[in-house]
Amino acid sequence: MASLETAAAAPALDISWEDRFAQRMQGLTGSVIRELLKITERPEIISFAGGLPAPEVFPLAEIEAATRKVLEEHGAQALQYGATEGYAPLRELLVRHMARYGVKLTPANVLVTTGSQQALDLVGRLFLNPGDHVVTEEPTYLGAIQAWRAYQAEFLTVPADDAGMRVELLEEELRRGPKFVYVLPNFQNPSGATLSSQRRQRLVETANLWGVPIVEDDPYGQLRYEGAHLPPLLALDASLPGHVRAGHAKGGGVIHLGTFSKTLAPGLRVGFIVAPEEVVQRLAQLKQGADLHTSSLCQMVAYETARGGFLDRHVRQIRRVYGQRRDAMLRALERHFPGGVRWTRPQGGLFLWMTLPPHLDSAKLLDESLRDAKVAFIPGTSFFPNGGGRETLRLNFSYCTPELIEEGIGRLAGLIRRHVANAAR
């Protein structure tokens, strides 16, 4: 009965979930961005804000045909519960796909996820307790910050430049015992930077030496518009063939995240994790508690659309369209923008990164831009887990046509030129 007495003394009323929520969601970045994206749905706004694929490149006819085939030939399976690990033919397709990079896997190394956002969530769920540390590039992907703040992680950041994370500064952060290192090696979101070959090698070696797993997030790797493909960290991680070392002393291991959102369609919500088998097993159990499994219909449609070489052909078309849009944005920036503003020149992906003169605040500029120029972008602060980046912003070039890009960049440049001129006075 002692427990009952204690219980009676305990507060029956507890509103701390609201406080805890506020704490976990510090900065409310997610809701700010969601509100912003709602504004950008207004037809008069030219939006460089979202990370949306262009609907013109959705393989609609092929997805229609695949869906028809799936429902006609495997309807009961597409509508029924499925294995938490994912649809077997899709996992096998991913194994074949990764083999191109010299990565030898079995389907037991693959977990299908509900978009790669769920992959970030599951990784957090497996590795993070409140107060645990995660190393990221600075700036880094907003969705990862959101996913891991929910587990009350603390972020250790490593500065990045045009060749990605400055890996020579990583060891200092590894001394603090982080649970993993998170990196987007190709056409990083938000910076557009690509991690150089040398740094890839050094990153894998350093993390292995310290026994810290690397979480390699590669949603854009296929979307390269110039230059040669660089090997994924997964391929560089010599420890992988053993499939047993993630999180162990003898090597950190690489957990590789991918998605069909940028190569087929995000509305399917089909992503994947490639990892050592013992990690996949645990992630699968966590996924079972999170959503049982990813939509059978969507997985089967993704597989049926992607297979037989279609995905590769389709990716070539996306590269052409987005490459033109990147070029259009770079040309417009050069034509319209004043001195004192810098931007990156990504070799692929969806985004470039702009740095304004230090006296400008991109969040304030956004209000003005939405009102006067009718142009949207994402202020850079959202991508700095520990603050900073006030004078930076992210521009998406995949969603708007080249004509709209030219128009929108022109309007944005006009606004910024006024501020730069005012400051010079």
Would you count residue 58 as binding a second copy (CB under 8 A)?
Answer: yes
CB of 379 to a second copy, least distance (A): 18
Q: How far apart are CA 254 and CA 272, in angstroms?
A: 14
Of the listed pieces 98-106, 144-152, 228-236, 306-314, which binds a second copy according to CB under 8 A? 144-152
DSSP secondary structure letter of residue 296: H
Residue 118 interacting with a second copy (CB under 8 A): yes
Q: State the Cα–Cα distance between residues 231 and 19, nearest whole angstrom.
A: 44
Which amino acid belongs to residue 102? G
Identity of the residue, 139 or 271, whose beta carbon is nearer to a second copy in the bound complex: 271
Q: Candidates 36, 49, 53, 374: give the one binding a second copy (CB under 8 A).
A: 53
SS3 state of residue 276 = coil
State which of residues 21, 73, 367, 421 lies at the interface with a second copy (CB under 8 A): 21
Residue 18 as a binder of a second copy (CB under 8 A): the answer is yes
Residue type for position 22 = A
Residues in the chain: 425
Q: Of 300 and 360, which has the nearer Cβ to a second copy? A: 300
Q: Return the number of other C-beta atoms located less than 10 Å from residue 315's C-beta.
A: 18
Six token digits for residue 77:
């399976």
Minimum CB distance to a second copy, residue 175 (Å): 4
Q: x-or-dash pattern for a second copy, window 73-112, by CB under 8 A?
A: --xxxxxxxxxx----------------------------
CA distances from 268 to 207, 323, 385 (A): 34, 24, 29
The nearer residue to a second copy, 119 or 356, going by C-beta atoms, is 119
Minimum separation from the CB atom of position 196 to a second copy (A): 25
Residues 297-326 contacting a second copy, CB under 8 A: 297-298, 301
Q: Does 135 bind a second copy (CB under 8 A)?
A: no
Q: At what angle do helices 402-424 and 310-336 cross, to 10 degrees?
A: 30
Site string for a second copy, 155-184 (x = CB under 8 A): -----------------x-xxxx-x-----
**Which of 36, 134, 137, 149 forms a contact with a second copy (CB under 8 A)?**
149
C-beta neighbour count of 238 within 10 angstroms: 12
Q: Could you say which residues in the range 28-47 bind a second copy, by CB under 8 A?
A: 28, 30-31, 34, 38
Binding segment toward a second copy, per CB under 8 A, in 11-19, 158-166, 223-231, 354-362: 11-19
Site stretch for a second copy (CB under 8 A), options 65-73, 96-104, 225-233, 338-346:
65-73
- Pick from 227, 222, 399: nearest CA to 311: 222
Positions in 245-304 near a second copy (CB under 8 A): 247-249, 261, 264-269, 281-282, 285-286, 288-298, 301
Q: Least distance to a second copy from the beta carbon of 321, Å? A: 15
Cβ-based nearer residue to a second copy, 287 or 419:
287
What phi, psi does 225 have (nearest 5°)? -105, -10
Contacts 24+ apart (CB under 8 A), 56-65: 56/321, 57/314, 57/317, 57/318, 57/321, 57/322, 58/264, 58/265, 59/264, 59/265, 59/305, 59/310, 59/314, 62/305, 62/310, 62/314, 63/264, 63/265, 63/301, 63/305
Interface of this chain with a second copy, residues 332 to 391, rule: CB under 8 A: none
Of the candidate residues 2, 10, 228, 425, the single one contacting a second copy (CB under 8 A): 10
Tokens of 209: 């030496």
Site size for a second copy (CB under 8 A): 94
Q: Do 139 and 190 contact (CB within 8 A), yes or no?
A: yes
